Each structure stands twice: as structure tokens, then as C-alpha cells.
């Protein structure tokens, strides 16, 4: 392991950013650049401790304030997206850790990849919205992309030594279920912001905490896994694992299942992303198997948590549909945090945008950004009423987009789903496992699957960063 890595950390004042700095300090790495949005006080403290070459504030007023505070240092202060792009491609940095939240991380991540940087990726929206563009850019530049999300880090670790993707039967993503697992749809309508932010296992920022509560976060991770490992959705499953000790699993063709276990501490996957292929003494506490609780696994509830079904629909639609999903969700979560939308209204807003904004296949960067903006505008212009069946939730569902393999059924405050298995599929129930839980193949009723299967995707060359670990 290279002990002298020099890091550009995008999003240093957020939860992942602060934990990343703990790891950087413990591993004796250097910092080339730090970026943040508005938290001037925290940024000043970080700059004085780590002495980066460049500090970036997205907000111009915050940047001006930081310049005054750091006037006695040689640290240069930049602002806005241009500053973020500069930090991502800074010559002094060999590694860029993208810990910003939302689609704002897309352009700087692409800039870092094109500059040939090693990417420690904690910004899932980059792959959700533009996975194909990112993959092509990495293949062209030879950039290495290593996941930071605990689930994708776990899969990455379980794939070490796998030389043929055909050996993999499926990837299994674990989900905590968030603070409301076991609740029914009618109970979720009155959820408060404070309740949604109270995650039982993880300490995360507001946006990710709400996504975990709606289970949209797991849907985004499903799409991210497809893009990162070039796996068709039929070979990815989701299971609820309330203890958050098994971070994800890989099942091989011989039915051997490899799992990565650890305490729920994001510093573990952050450290692995920064030190891979080596390992160093851990910053986090060790897992005590004798004191950990029994490990349990459950099928997801797609009825109570329709955001997860919407994400699977977007995954199968492909193209810019995933950007629409992400943009609509970001806007809806913002409305919820501002007290302008009910918790149940988040899913309705996302569904409305997905129906309103057409998907573009093989989108350019411009198409993706346009889809994101259109989704946000659709959400801003729509005021759902989740207390009763609204026009978009009427019994006439013939015009509504459907999650793959699922049928919509109207309900006063939630969407109920029924799965339609194909040959060899598991017998479904209304609240039982959806296609990602059952056996393949599954029928797609309305929209054809646009993700190529294992035989349709050619193996990439040695410089590709989106195949198996030995190619990173």
C-alpha cells in the first residue's frame, strides 16, 4: 500500500468527509484540496489542520469569508463549480475522494477520471445518473474507481480473486430497513423529519438518512451496483439485515456465499478504498462475534416502501430514467426536510416525475443534466395530496408506469404491488419478495429491459476500472 497518497477530498465537512479525514490522518496521508458548501467555520479548522494547497467553497459568500479567515496562510481559496472542478483535477493529488451529496458530484468526478486520478467514490449519484459515461471515461483514461459505500465496498472485497464474472450467480445488497422497518403505509404518512433522521445504526447526513428511511437509498445502490460491476438487474438481490453487520454478499455459481462483516462504521470502507490493494491497522473498532446480536435477513416490503420499487423500475427502463429518479428524489427530499411535503409524498413526487419526463436512451451528459432539471421542475410544480387518492393515484392505472414485474394497485395513501413471476419464478404475494428477491427469470410487463445480460456484454480490457477487482 502506498503510504504517501495525496487526497483531494470533495465534501470535507459532511459526515463522510469528516470520517475520511479521520482515516487520512490515521494513515499518514496528505491532503491536496478540501471542498465544502457553506460551513466556513468547519472548513477553516480542517484547513489549518491539514494544510491543503486549495480550499473550495461552493457558496461565493462563504468563499469570501474563508479567504479572510485564511489570509495568514498560503492556502488558496476558490469558489463554485469551477473551483470544484479544479480541486478534482489538481495535479498534486493522486486520489480524489468524492463525498459530496447529489448530482453536483457528477461533473467533478468525470473531471477527475479524465485527469487519470484514482477515484474513491462515495457519491452514488454519479453512477446512478451517468454510469455509462463514467465507465467509458475510466476505460479511456485508465482511472481506477474504488467504491466507498459500505455495501459496494463489501461486494468489491468479496469479489477479490474472481477472474470470471460468469462465476457470479448474484450480488446481494443488505439494507438496514431504516427507522421504520415493519411499519405499514398508513403509519408512514405522519412521519416527522426528526423521526426520519433518527437512523438506528448509522450516523449520516440529512439527505442520506431520509433516503434510508424511504429505502430509496437501497434503490440507488441497486442501480449503482449494476453500473459499477456491469451486472444485469436479474443478478442483484436486496435483503433486509437489521443488524448492519453483514454489509453485503456475493453468491457464486457453486452456491458458495461470501460475506463481508464489520461494525457499522463508515471509516472501514473509506479506509479500504484509500489503502487498497493493501490493508493497514483499522481506525474503527473490531467486530466482537461473541457479543454481536443474531444475524437476521428479511425480504423487502415494496408496499410500505414504494420508493424502492420506483428505483427498480428506473433501473430496468435505463437511459436517463435513473437521472429523473434521482433528481426527483433530491427535490422531494428537500421539500420534506423543509416541511413542505409529507413523508409518503416523497414517493408520489418521484412517481409523478418519472411519468412526466420521458427517458432518453444512451444519453449524453447534456441529456442527463436536462433530465435532472426536468425532474426537479416537475416536482416543484406538483403538489400531491397523500391523504387521499389523487388523480395520479386513481384506480385507472393503465397509463401509469409500472415497476418491472409489478402491477400498481391504488390505495388511499400507498401503492400496493403484485409481482408477476416468469418461468421458474417464486410464487409472489402482495407484500412478499419482488423480482430482485426471487429466482430469475422475471417478466418485464411494460418496458423492455435495456441492461445487457452477461452474454451480451463483452469483457473490457486491462485498463478498464469497471470490471473485477484485478482490473481496478
Q: Which residues pair with 442 in a beta bridge?
A: 421
In the listed set 147, 180, 206, which residue is the last one of a domain according to the structure?
147
255, burial (CB in 10 Å: exposed 0-12, middle 13-18, buried 19+): exposed
Residue 25 belongs to some domain of the structure: yes
**Cell triple for 163:** 477472474
Nearest residue to 238 (alpha-carbon basis) of 418, 437, 6, 39 = 437
Q: 345-356 and 365-380 helices cross at what angle (nearest 10)?
A: 130
The domain boundary residue, chosen from 371, 389, 419: 419
- SS3 call for 174: strand
Number of domains into which the chain is organized: 2
- CA atoms in the 13 A half-sphere facing the CB of 260: 23
Residues 125 and 42 in one domain: yes
Least Cα distance to 155 among 93, 221, 200, 106 occurs for 221
| 94-98, 334-338, 382-386, 403-407: least confident range | 403-407
User: Is pLDDT of 416 > 90?
Assistant: no
Q: Are residues 209 and 341 in the same domain?
A: yes
pTM above 0.85, yes or no: no
Q: How many CA atoms lie within 13 A of 81 on its CB side?
A: 9
Q: What is the pLDDT of residue 385?
A: 60
Residue 468 belongs to some domain of the structure: no
Asked, for residue 97, whether it belongs to a domain, the answer is yes
Give the end of a domain, one of 147, 174, 198.
147
Q: What percent of the chain is modeled with pLDDT above 90?
A: 73
Average the pLDDT over each of 197-206, 225-234, 284-293 and give the range with the smallest value: 197-206
Q: Tell whether 204 and 303 lie within a shared domain.
A: yes
Q: Are residues 86 and 164 in the same domain?
A: no
Residues 135, 174 within the same domain: no
What value does the mean pLDDT take over residues 253-257? 97
pLDDT the model gives residue 383? 87
In a domain, 471, yes or no: no
Cα(132)–Cα(139) distance, integer angstroms: 11
In 3D space, the residue among 304, 356, 300, 303 whose CA is nearest the CA of residue 328 turns out to be 356
Where are the strands (E) in 371-446, listed by range?
406-409, 416-419
Residue 202 has pLDDT above 80, yes or no: no
| Residue 32 to residues 5, 16, 68, 183, 199, Cα–Cα distance (Å) | 10, 17, 20, 46, 33
- Any idea what the Cα angle at residue 94 is, between residues 137 and 468, rounded to 5°? 50
Query: Does residue 6 sit in helix, strand or coil?
Result: strand
**Sequence-ordered list of residues with C-beta below 8 angstroms from that of 66, at least 6 positions apart, any chain:** 40, 43, 44, 47, 55, 57, 77
Predicted local distance difference test score (pLDDT) of residue 406: 36
Whole-angstrom distance, CA of residue 340 vs CA of residue 354: 20
Please tell me whether residues 175 and 227 are part of one structural domain.
yes
Q: Is the pLDDT of residue 401 over 50?
A: no
Domain hosting 236: range is 158-258+298-419
Residues 98 and 168 in one domain: no
Evaluate if residue 433 carries a pLDDT over 70. Answer: no
The CATH number assigned to the domain holding 194 equals 1.10.1740.10
Tell whether the model's pLDDT for residue 191 goes beyond 60: yes
Task: Spell out the long-range contacts of 205-209 with Cβ–Cβ below 8 A and sequence spacing 24 or more.
Answer: 205/14, 205/15, 205/16, 205/101, 206/337, 207/101, 207/102, 207/330, 207/333, 207/337, 208/15, 208/101
**Is residue 26 located within the same domain as residue 174?**
no
Query: CB–CB of 102/122 below 8 Å?
Result: no
Element holding 16 (H helix, E strand):
helix 15-27
* Cα–Cα distance for residue pair 242/178, rounded to 1 Å: 8
The residue with greater pLDDT, 124 or 44, is 44
Whether 10 is covered by a domain: the verdict is yes
CB-based contacts of 104, cutoff 8 Å, min separation 6: 58, 81, 84
Residue 466 lies in a domain: no
**Lowest-confidence pick of 188-197, 276-285, 383-392:** 383-392
Contact 108/87 with Cβ under 8 angstroms? yes
| Residues in Cβ contact with 391 at an 8 Å cutoff, skipping those fewer than 6 apart | none
Residues 6 or more apart whose Cβ sits within 8 Å of residue 80: 58, 60, 63
Asked if residue 353 and residue 223 are part of one domain, the reply reads yes
For residues 335 and 349, the answer to whether their CB atoms sit within 8 Å is: yes
pLDDT band at 443 (very low <50, low <70, confident <90, very high): very low
Task: Work out the average pLDDT over 313-332.
Answer: 97
Residue-level pLDDT at 273: 96
Rounded to the nearest angstrom, the gap between the alpha carbon of residue 245 and the centroid of all alpha carbons in its chain is 19
Phi, psi of 47 (to 5 degrees): -65, -40
Dist. CA 206–CA 211, nearest whole Å? 9
Grid coordinates belonging to 19: 470520517
pLDDT, mean over the chain: 83
My answer on whether 377 and 311 are in the same domain is yes
Report residue 284 as a C-alpha cell: 474503527
- My answer on whether 128 and 200 are in the same domain is no
**The pLDDT of residue 287 is above 90:** yes
Residue 457, in any domain of the structure: no
Average pLDDT over residues 174-187: 91
* Rounded distance between C-alpha atoms, residue 15 and residue 20, angstroms: 9
CA 182 to chain centre: 23
Strand duo 246-252 + 168-175: pairing: antiparallel
Secondary structure (3-state) at 406: strand
Kindly state the average pLDDT of the residues 207-236.
95
Cis peptide before 441 (omega within 30 of 0): yes
Q: Is residue 451 part of a domain?
A: no
| pLDDT given for residue 407 in this prediction | 33
pLDDT of residue 353: 98
Considering the domain architecture, whether residues 67 and 162 belong to the same structural domain is answered as: no
According to the model, what pLDDT value does residue 248 have? Answer: 98
Residue 78: CATH number of its domain: 3.40.50.720
Amino acid at each position: 500500500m502506498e503510504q504517501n497518497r495525496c487526497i483531494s477530498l470533495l465534501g470535507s465537512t459532511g459526515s463522510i468527509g469528516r470520517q475520511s479525514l479521520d482515516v487520512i490522518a490515521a494513515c499518514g496521508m496528505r491532503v491536496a484540496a478540501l471542498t465544502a458548501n457553506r460551513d466556513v467555520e468547519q472548513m477553516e479548522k480542517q484547513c489549518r489542520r491539514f494544510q491543503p494547497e486549495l480550499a473550495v467553497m461552493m457558496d461565493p459568500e462563504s468563499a469570501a469569508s474563508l479567504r479572510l479567515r485564511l489570509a495568514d496562510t498560503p492556502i488558496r481559496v476558490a469558489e463554485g463549480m469551477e473551483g470544484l472542478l479544479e480541486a478534482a483535477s489538481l495535479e498534486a493529488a493522486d486520489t480524489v475522494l468524492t463525498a459530496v451529496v447529489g448530482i453536483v458530484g457528477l461533473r467533478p468526478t468525470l473531471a477527475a477520471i479524465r485527469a487519470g486520478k484514482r477515484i474513491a467514490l462515495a457519491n452514488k449519484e454519479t453512477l446512478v445518473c451517468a454510469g455509462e459515461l463514467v465507465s467509458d471515461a475510466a476505460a479511456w483514461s485508465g482511472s481506477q474507481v474504488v467504491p466507498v459505500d459500505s455495501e459496494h465496498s463489501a461486494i468489491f472485497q468479496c469479489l477479490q480473486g474472481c477472474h470470471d464474472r460468469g462465476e457470479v450467480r448474484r450480488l446481494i445488497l443488505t439494507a438496514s430497513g431504516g427507522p421504520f422497518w415493519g411499519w405499514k403505509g398508513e403509519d408512514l404518512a405522519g412521519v416527522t423529519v426528526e423521526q426520519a433522521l433518527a437512523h438506528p445504526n448509522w450516523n449520516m447526513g440529512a439527505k442520506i438518512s431520509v433516503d434510508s428511511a424511504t429505502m430509496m437509498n437501497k434503490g440507488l445502490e441497486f442501480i449503482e451496483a449494476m453500473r459499477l460491476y456491469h451486472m444485469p438487474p436479474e443478478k442483484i438481490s436486496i435483503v433486509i439485515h437489521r443488524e448492519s453487520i453483514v454489509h453485503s454478499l456475493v453468491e457464486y455459481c457453486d452456491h458458495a456465499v461470501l460475506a463481508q462483516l464489520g461494525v457499522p462504521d463508515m471509516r472501514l470502507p473509506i479506509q479500504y478504498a484509500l489503502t487498497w490493494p493493501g490493508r493497514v491497522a483499522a481506525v474503527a473498532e473490531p467486530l466482537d462475534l461473541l457479543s454481536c446480536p443474531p444475524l437476521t435477513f428479511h425480504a423487502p416490503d415494496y408496499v410500505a416502501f414504494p420508493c424502492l420499487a420506483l428505483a427498480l423500475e428506473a433501473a430496468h427502463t435505463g437511459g436517463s430514467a435513473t437521472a429523473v429518479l434521482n433528481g426527483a428524489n433530491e427535490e422531494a427530499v428537500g421539500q420534506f426536510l423543509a416541511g413542505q411535503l409529507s413523508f409518503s409524498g416523497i414517493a408520489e413526487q418521484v412517481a409523478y416525475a418519472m411519468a412526466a419526463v420521458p427517458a432518453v436512451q444512451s444519453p449524453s451528459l447534456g441529456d442527463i443534466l436536462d433530465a435532472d432539471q426536468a425532474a426537479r421542475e416537475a416536482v416543484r410544480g406538483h403538489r400531491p395530496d397523500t391523504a387521499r387518492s389523487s388523480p395520479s393515484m386513481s384506480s385507472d392505472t393503465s397509463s401509469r408506469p409500472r415497476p418491472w414485474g409489478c402491477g400498481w394497485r391504488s390505495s388511499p395513501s400507498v401503492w400496493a404491488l403484485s409481482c408477476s413471476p416468469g418461468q421458474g419464478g417464486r410464487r409472489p404475494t402482495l407484500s412478499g419478495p419482488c423480482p430482485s428477491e426471487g429466482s430469475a427469470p422475471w417478466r418485464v410487463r411494460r418496458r423492455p429491459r435495456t441492461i445487457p445480460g452477461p452474454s451480451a456484454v463483452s469483457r473490457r480490457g486491462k485498463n478498464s476500472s469497471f470490471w473485477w477487482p484485478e482490473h481496478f
